[in-house]
Amino acid sequence: MKEVFTGCCQCGHCHYLVRGRSLSLFACHCRECQKQSGSAFGMALWVQTSQIELQSGRLSSWTRETPSGQRMICEFCPQCGTRLFHRQENRSDFVSIKPGTLDDPSSLIPVAHIWLDSALAWNEFSGDCLRYPGNPEDFVPLFERWEQRR
């Protein structure tokens, strides 16, 4: 089943369209995601790069090193600074959309919480979400859980 998502940055300069099938959605509690989101955690909706179309605006980017030593390309609106996408430098086939930028994220529920060793103490985790103290060695279980929930 094909999905269609639309989204934009906070100021409306950058609009995007996603057509295809999402692969997974999870919350990340690492310190970098906390800093990036300005909150207790960040979220990632994984899709294939070929499914994303930037409809208006242009993106700026910067690259950072992840705790696992990978290089992450972070794309954002140059006018308001809203982070829209992340992708690993060596994995150009997948993109992580920041789901708070979607026009309607209300139906999306994460299947996992990662980097729980860095989670703020007041977070409560219930339900059937997968849980990892750091980065999962393999993301296949997250993809499988996402498919099961459909």
What confidence tens digit (pLDDT) does each residue in 52-69 have?
999 999 999 999 988 778
* Residue closest to 116 by CA, chosen among 107, 108, 125, 126: 125
Confidence of residue 111 (pLDDT cuts 50, 70, 90): very high
| Res 73 pLDDT > 90 | yes
Pairing of strands 3-8, 15-20: antiparallel
In angstroms, the Cα distances linking 93 to 59, 87, 88 are 18, 9, 9
* CA 37 remoteness from chain centre: 11
Superfamily of domain 3-149: glutathione-dependent formaldehyde- activating enzyme (gfa) (3.90.1590.10)
pLDDT of residue 67: 72
| Res 5 pLDDT > 90 | yes
Confidence of residue 36 (pLDDT cuts 50, 70, 90): confident
Three-state secondary-structure class, residue 49: helix
Q: Residue 99 in contact with residue 25, Cβ under 8 Å?
A: yes
| Res 41 pLDDT > 80 | yes
pTM of the model: 0.89
| Res 9 pLDDT > 90 | yes
| Res 127 pLDDT > 90 | no
Range in 14-23, 56-65, 125-134 with the lowest mean pLDDT: 125-134
Sign of the CA dihedral with 142 first, then 8, 106, and 132 last? positive
Sign of the CA dihedral with 18 first, then 16, 30, and 48 last? positive
